[in-house]
Amino acid sequence: MAHLTYFVLCENYLFNDGKTTLVNIYDTVNASEFPAVVKNFVIAMAIKDVNESDLVDGKIKAYIELVGEKKPEEVIKMDLEQEITNFPANVTSSVDLGGKIQFIEETHFTGKLYLNKQHMGTLTFEVKKA
């Protein structure tokens, strides 16, 4: 059965020669003014012990839902897919949101990671005026 190793918000995610580097993990986005767009904004995750039973059509299928506290009806959903042929597998992935989300005001966000509709983990962060 698959297990979550990490699910974090960071400034940058690097994967090279089988090694992962997470740069500046944080839980607060500081904005000098609103609206604000963050240039270095990555959600990174790793899932270990992925087996064939965790796949759908030969792929790992995961998604992230990001929801703001003040506007919970506005859900940002990100799909992640990856083919896997060797088991058990360790999967690392990231979603680069740099420059893609505009924050209008101070608020808290919750991000949830799902693997084949099964909740794997949660991250939270706040956006505040610096």
- Mean pLDDT (the chain) is 92
- Spatial CB neighbours of 78, under 8 Å, sequence gap ≥ 6: 43, 63, 64, 66, 95
pLDDT digits (tens, 9 = 90+) for 20-50: 999 999 999 999 999 999 999 999 999 999 9
Best CA proximity match to 113, nearest among 43, 48, 58, 56:
43
Looking up residue 16, the CATH number of its domain turns out to be 2.60.40
How many independent structural domains does the chain possess? 1
The C-alpha atoms of residue 57 and residue 30 are separated, in whole angstroms, by 41
Identity of residue 31: A
- Spatial CB neighbours of 86, under 8 Å, sequence gap ≥ 6: none
Lowest mean pLDDT among 45-49, 54-58, 75-79, 126-130: 54-58
The C-alpha atoms of residue 18 and residue 14 are separated, in whole angstroms, by 10
Which structure tokens are listed for 90?
């360790």
Identity of residue 111: G
What percent of the chain has pLDDT above 90? Answer: 72
Find the domain containing 92 and state its range. 3-129
pLDDT of 68 = 92
Of the pLDDT bands very low, low, confident and very high (cuts 50, 70, 90), residue 73 is confident
Best CA proximity match to 104, nearest among 48, 34, 56:
34
**Mean pLDDT along residues 43-69:** 92
The C-alpha atoms of residue 84 and residue 53 are separated, in whole angstroms, by 11
pTM of the model: 0.90
Which structure tokens are listed for 104?
């209008």
Of the pLDDT bands very low, low, confident and very high (cuts 50, 70, 90), residue 65 is very high
